[in-house]
Amino acid sequence: MTEFNDTEQKSKVKQEAVRAAVNIKEELTKLIADSYDQGVKDGVEIARYATLEEVAQHVEKLTGFGQDTISSFAIYIRGMKK
């Protein structure tokens, strides 16, 4: 009888270890996915800011408007970064 109880106890310990491992795996998977999503979001935001800055710089090169108007356009475009 003791051998049976011993085997049963070891089985329970192993089951708990497997459950814990599964929980850790799920948590790590979620953390990795969240980190990846944040990285993609950051990358998109950086690319967007760079694009807006490039557009603002090209607007500043325009010659068909007065300097105040061109500056206002560039300021408006840079303000879209926020």
pLDDT, one tens digit per residue, over 43-71 is 999 999 999 999 999 999 998 899 999 99
The pTM is what? 0.61
- The length of the chain, given as a count of residues: 82
Structural domains counted in the chain: 1
pLDDT value of residue 45: 93
Can you give the residue range of the structural domain that contains 54? Answer: 2-79
Measured distance CA(71)–CA(46) in Å, rounded:
23
> What pLDDT shows up at residue 4?
76
Q: Which two tokens mark 30?
A: 């979620």
Instruction: Classify residue 55 by burial, with Cβ atoms within 10 Å: 0-12, 13-18, 19+.
Output: middle
